Structure formats: structure tokens, C-alpha cells
Amino acid sequence: MTIGEKYIPTQDKVVWYSDDGTMLYGWQNIDGKVYYFDKVTGKMTVGQKNIGGHWYLFDSKGVMQRGFQYISYQNKTVYYNKDGWMLYGHQLINGKKYYFNTITGAKE
């Protein structure tokens, strides 16, 4: 029985199997880190993804990111709150005021 992370080359996806061998789907907290697995295919999410109307960022290992993040291919810095949502407009973060573009989320 497979447990943990597994790459399935024929489908070019990474999935995760729980301790009882079942594939995980949706939001998962694994060893204190937050991941999102496609609800249909179980594919681990990497990069930016809109889920439920909010933009999230997942690193190359699938871990949800928080705080200031630089998106190099879009040449912008954005901010993800404690829930992982990208923030827009005027924000007060750690006592400091910031403005994030209301469309792109880029810090201005």
C-alpha cells in the first residue's frame, strides 16, 4: 500500500495517499503545512490557483504560501493573508500601510 506523496508519470501528477491508503482531495493539512489537491483528479496544486473566488499561491512542493511573495514571471510582489488569500486595495500589515492593485494584487 502506498502512503504519502507519489508521482504518477502516466498522468503527470503528484498525489498524496493517507495512512489508510486512500487518495486525498481538496484542502489538506499535512505535518502542519496546507496543501490543495484537485477535487476530481487528486493532483497536488503548485503555482497560483483561484479556489472559491480567492487567489492562492503554492510552492513547487505544493505548500500554500503566506505573507509577501514575489511572482517573478509576472514581475510583481503580492501579499497572502493568514488564510492564504491574495489581498487587494488598502491594507494594514504589521502596523504598516500598503496598497495592492485592485485587479492584479501587485504592491504599488
pLDDT digits (tens, 9 = 90+) for 36-75: 999 999 999 999 999 999 999 999 999 999 999 999 999 9
Q: Do 82 and 102 belong to one domain?
A: yes
Written as one string, the DSSP assignment of 61-101 is T-PBP-EEEEEGGGTEEEEE-TTSPBP-EEEEETTEEEEE-
- For 86, other C-beta atoms within 10 Å of its C-beta total 20
Q: Do 48 and 76 belong to one domain?
A: no
What's the predicted TM-score (pTM) here?
A: 0.92
pLDDT at residue number 40: 97
We report the CATH number of the domain holding residue 96 as: 2.10.270.10
Domain that residue 102 falls in: 66-108
Cα–Cα distance, 42 to 47 (Å, whole number): 16
